Each structure stands twice: as C-alpha cells, then as structure tokens.
Amino acid sequence: MHLDTIVALATPPGVGAIGVIRVSGPKTIELVNEVFKGKDLTSVKSHTIHLGTIRDGETIVDEVLISLFKGPNSYTKEDVIEISCHGSQFIIQQLIKLLLRKGARLAKAGEFTQRAFINGRFDLAQAEAVADLIASENESMHSAAMNQMRGGFSQEIKNLREELVHFASMIELELDFAEEDVEFASREDLKKLINNLKALIQRLTESFTLGNAIKNGIPTVIAGKPNAGKSTLLNALLNEEKAIVSDIPGTTRDVIEDVINVDGIAFRFTDTAGIRTTEDKVEAIGVERTMSKMKAASVVLYLIDMKEDQPEDVDKEIAFIKDLGVPYLLIGNKLDQAKPAVQKQLEDNNALLISASQKQNLENLKEALKELVSLDDFKSGNTIVTNLRHYESLMQTNEALDRVITGIDQEITNDFLAMDIRNSLHHLGEITGEITTEDLLDNIFSKFCIGK
Ligand code: GDP
C-alpha cells in the first residue's frame, strides 16, 4: 500500500509549448484541488478535463488544464492528475514546489510505472517494455517494445509456467504417495514436455541476438585495406542520415552518431574511431585487432580498392573475407576510377560496386545490408527477447530444466526432481515479476526517467 502522493514533470525538462506535471496517490485530488481554482475537483467524474488557474495564495501561477483519472482506471491504478501548464521552466518549478509544500513527494525515477506494476496493472516484463517504448528510435524497436508491452512475451512465459506447474504438482503428488510407489506422471511424457519447453526457451533465447540488435543497433564494421575508402563511405552513409535528422529540432548529433537507419533497422557502426584516425592506416588485413573486431560484428562491409589493388591481392582478400564466418558484403569501391580487370573480378564474385566519394550506388548498398540480416522472425510477429535480464532468466530456466532431465535419467528421488522444477519456475517467475526482490525492482525502475 502506498500512502505517499508523488509528483513529477512528465514531459522533458526544458522549454516547450506545454509541460505536463503528473501527480499520483491517495491524496492527489484533494491536494491539487487545494491550489486549483475552477471546478471542485473532488466532485467531478473520472476521465474529465478542467480549465482553471493554479494559485499560490493570491498569486496566479498559471492557467492550466487538469486531466483527472480516478483509480483504478489510471496508469498507476491510483488517483492520477495530469496538469498541463505552459512549458516554462519557472512555471513548472513553481507548480511542483507548490504541490510539494501541500504534501506531495517528488517521484523517483520510474516510480509511476513501478506503482502500476505493484498495483497489478501489468507484469514486470510489460513495465520494462514501457521504458523500451519511450526509448524506441525506429520502427523495429518500437514494434518489439509494443509487442512486449501488450503482453505477447508475458503470455509465452505464462504458458511455459503453467505447463511446468502442472508437471511439478504431479511429481509432488507422487511424493505424497511415496509409500505406495505410484507414478502419476509417466517419466517419458515428462521428458517430452520438458523437451518442448526447452525448444520454446531456445527459440526465445535465440531471438535475443536479434532483439539485442534491434534495441542497440546491429553491430556493423567497415573493413578493408588502408585507403580503400572506409571513412569516406562511413561519412557518406552518416551524413545522409544527419541531414535528415538535423531538421528535427532538439535532436542531438550524439544520438545518431555512427548509426544509420535502413527501413527501420538500426545499423551501429562500431569501432569507427579507428577508421577515422590515421592510426588505422598502418593496419593491414590479417592484423589481429582487425580480425577480432570483424569477428565481433554481426555484419562486415568489406571494401576493396578497385583503383589501387592488384588482382592477386584481391583474390587473397576475397578468400580471407569468405573464411571469416561473419555475414559480409563484398564491396568494390572507387567505381569511378576502377581498373577494368579488378572490376571484372569483383563482378564475378557478386560484389556490390560503389563509389564512396561520388556517393554512387549507396542506396543499393543499404538495400543489400538490410537483406543480409535475417529479420524473418521479426516480420512474422514472433516474440523477440530484447532484454538482457529476461535472456539471463531464460538461460537459468534452461539449466534447471537440464538438471530435471538428467535427474529423470538418473532416477533421482522425487523430492530432488521437484526441487529442480521449482527452481526453473523460480527463474521464469523472475521475468514477469511473480518473484522479485527489492534490489531487482530498484534496479529496473531506476533506469526509467523521472516522471514515468
Ligand atoms: P580509409 O583509409 O579506408 O578510411 O580510406 P579513406 O576514406 O581515407 O580514403 C582514401 C582515399 O581514397 C581518399 O583520398 C579518398 O578521397 C579516396 N576515395 C574514397 N572513395 C573513393 C571513390 O569512390 N573514388 C575515388 N576515386 N576515390 C575515393
């Protein structure tokens, strides 16, 4: 039970046309009503909006709109008021200070959402999706978060849990009848069930690679010999992006730095510092650092210099990149000044031919990039795990299930078997929040912004 009434600015700090101050808790209506001049808020209906002024004694602080939601039909399931005021820093500060003086307390980061979770509005995985939704920067991040928030992921976890609970209760029933040596659950059936669960968990954990890529951008590396045109290409790709984004006021360069969006998929160019500095120029292919950075990437754009490279070098480079075991695009650069023999060689290897400096064929390059990453799972609307915490819990569930299978094979006693099953249930419960600790909750919600 939360007795505090909390308040925070819900819109971003800074000057805006309007600012929204959110208040939630048992005293919300009474407290705002004390400073509001307009309708008597204690006698209005839920989900209504009211124009009036907020006054500090005789001083009018602002003319505002009050949106009123009565619990449990609100975001937090408590009484909630959102005050839309003029978006001046000064006004916002005055309003918040006034409410604090009247007895509200400043909300901690994520506290509104934390209350929504505690009051049962949604489970933990859904609450976490709210943070992802707010942070979503492109279409794929948005739909993964939206699916999770709407409970797609939670439902899969719930189904898993239900099957396991059934399983556990059978085993525990057998424990009750231990003297009689009965077997309610055929061990073969149980193993089948567990293997089904493991397959589902595997699908979910495998989706994390994609989920992580969606959330953080697909790690992409541009590689190639010194002077192949790596930084020219990177700048060409990024500049285009910046040109689009810089039209939107308030977007900082930092946010989009080294990320390009292709049809809603973010490609994050990693280790680009190396490309930009001259230090990289001394690196030849095969150098260990280049190798490891390419192997760590999900996608490698490998540039070959069609102007300077000799055909025999090109053969070596192609063999090298094919061997690397990472999805790659073979790209012939400097199409404007290519040696015909080398160009032919690259065409024979289905390379994409571009000119980075002339910005030629860059659209095709982006198209090819998009096709390189398999997003089938994503398109089919399958559940995708995007959260590291969920991924770790799934892995732990899987380990516990492995122990159950080994246990069955080694015919260990039912009480140990039941313990391992309970253990898998525990880890699944961590995902949706049936099992929580204060530390875990603090850790999750502190990552939210204040006011959410
Ligand atoms: P990096 O060492 O791989 O990063 O290569 P740079 O991007 O610094 O490019 C090396 C040189 O190649 C520079 O002088 C670029 O202007 C030039 N260059 C890059 N792309 C092209 C291209 O498409 N055509 C031609 N002719 N020159 C290019």
What whole-number distance in Å separates Cα of residue 62 and Cα of residue 188?
Answer: 71
- Any ligand 1 atom below 6 A from CB of 227: yes
Which pLDDT score, from 0 to 100, does residue 270 have? 73
From atom 26 of ligand 1, which residue's Cα is the shortest distance away? 334
Residue at token pair 């505002």: 64
CB 301 within 8 A of CB 221: yes
Which pLDDT score, from 0 to 100, does residue 75 have? 95
Please tell me whether residue 362 adopts helix, strand or coil conformation: helix
Measured in angstroms, how far is the CA atom of residue 229 from the centroid of ligand 1? Answer: 4
Which pLDDT score, from 0 to 100, does residue 381 have? 60
Residue at token pair 């509104």: 112
Measured in angstroms, how far is the CA atom of residue 232 from the centroid of ligand 1? Answer: 6
Which pLDDT score, from 0 to 100, does residue 165 have? 87
Measured in angstroms, how far is the CA atom of residue 225 from the centroid of ligand 1? Answer: 11
- Any ligand 1 atom below 6 A from CB of 333: yes
Which pLDDT score, from 0 to 100, does residue 69 have? 98
- Any ligand 1 atom below 6 A from CB of 230: yes
Structure tokens at 77: 């399931």
Which pLDDT score, from 0 to 100, does residue 80 have? 98
- What does DSSP say about strands 218-224 and 265-269: parallel, antiparallel, or unpaired? parallel
What whole-number distance in Å separates Cα of residue 91 and Cα of residue 337?
Answer: 62
Which pLDDT score, from 0 to 100, does residue 249 have? 42
Counting ligand 1 atoms within 8 A of each CB, the residue from 232, 358, 360 with the most, and so the one to mutate, is 232
Which pLDDT score, from 0 to 100, does residue 28 have? 98
Q: Helices 124-135 and 414-432: crossing angle, nearest 10°?
A: 30
276 CA closest ligand 1 atom index: 4
Q: Helices 124-135 and 139-149: crossing angle, nearest 10°?
A: 160
Which pLDDT score, from 0 to 100, does residue 1 have? 53
Which pLDDT score, from 0 to 100, does residue 355 have? 96
Which DSSP letter does residue 355 get? Answer: B
Residue 198 neighbours by CB distance under 10 Å:
16
Which pLDDT score, from 0 to 100, does residue 56 have? 95
Measured in angstroms, how far is the CA atom of residue 237 from the centroid of ligand 1? Answer: 14
Measured in angstroms, how far is the CA atom of residue 224 from the centroid of ligand 1? Answer: 11
CATH superfamily name and code, 124-298+373-433: tRNA modification GTPase MnmE domain 2 (1.20.120.430)
From atom 24 of ligand 1, which residue's Cα is the shortest distance away? 334
Domain spans in the chain, listed from the N-terminal domain onward: 6-122, 124-298+373-433
Measured in angstroms, how far is the CA atom of residue 302 from the centroid of ligand 1? Answer: 14
Residue at token pair 């085993």: 171
- Any ligand 1 atom below 6 A from CB of 336: yes
Counting ligand 1 atoms within 8 A of each CB, the residue from 221, 222, 225, 227 with the most, and so the one to mutate, is 227
CB 22 within 8 A of CB 95: no
What whole-number distance in Å separates Cα of residue 436 and Cα of residue 444?
Answer: 11
Nearest to 300 by CA among 216, 213, 221, 365: 221
CATH number, domain 6-122 = 3.30.1360.120
CB 385 within 8 A of CB 211: yes
Please tell me whether residue 278 adopts helix, strand or coil conformation: helix
From atom 9 of ligand 1, which residue's Cα is the shortest distance away? 229
Q: What is the DSSP string of 75-126?
A: SSSS-EEEEEEE--HHHHHHHHHHHHHTT-EEPPTTHHHHHHHHTTSS-HHH
What whole-number distance in Å separates Cα of residue 139 and Cα of residue 264?
Answer: 5
CB 189 within 8 A of CB 155: no
Measured in angstroms, how far is the CA atom of residue 228 from the centroid of ligand 1? Answer: 6
What whole-number distance in Å separates Cα of residue 423 and Cα of residue 150?
Answer: 27
From atom 11 of ligand 1, which residue's Cα is the shortest distance away? 227
- Any ligand 1 atom below 6 A from CB of 228: yes
- Any ligand 1 atom below 6 A from CB of 290: no
What whole-number distance in Å separates Cα of residue 211 and Cα of residue 377?
Answer: 10
- Any ligand 1 atom below 6 A from CB of 356: yes
Please tell me whether residue 339 adopts helix, strand or coil conformation: coil
Please tell me whether residue 157 adopts helix, strand or coil conformation: helix
Please tell me whether residue 201 adopts helix, strand or coil conformation: helix
235 CA closest ligand 1 atom index: 7
Measured in angstroms, how far is the CA atom of residue 339 from the centroid of ligand 1? Answer: 15
- Any ligand 1 atom below 6 A from CB of 225: no
Which pLDDT score, from 0 to 100, does residue 279 have? 42
Encode burial over 425-446: b for 16+ CB neighbours within 10 A, e otherwise.
Answer: bebbbbbbbeeeeeeebeebbe
pLDDT tens track of the chain, all 452 residues?
558 999 999 998 888 899 999 999 999 999 999 999 999 999 999 999 999 999 999 999 999 999 999 999 999 999 999 999 999 999 999 999 999 999 999 999 899 999 999 999 989 989 888 888 888 877 878 888 888 888 888 888 888 888 888 888 888 888 777 677 667 667 888 888 888 889 989 988 888 877 777 777 888 888 888 888 888 898 888 876 554 444 444 333 333 457 888 877 788 887 554 444 434 444 444 455 666 677 777 788 999 999 999 998 899 888 888 888 888 999 999 999 999 999 999 999 999 999 999 999 999 999 898 888 766 555 556 678 888 899 999 999 999 999 999 998 998 888 888 888 889 899 989 898 887 778 878 888 888 878 88
- Any ligand 1 atom below 6 A from CB of 232: yes
356 CA closest ligand 1 atom index: 23
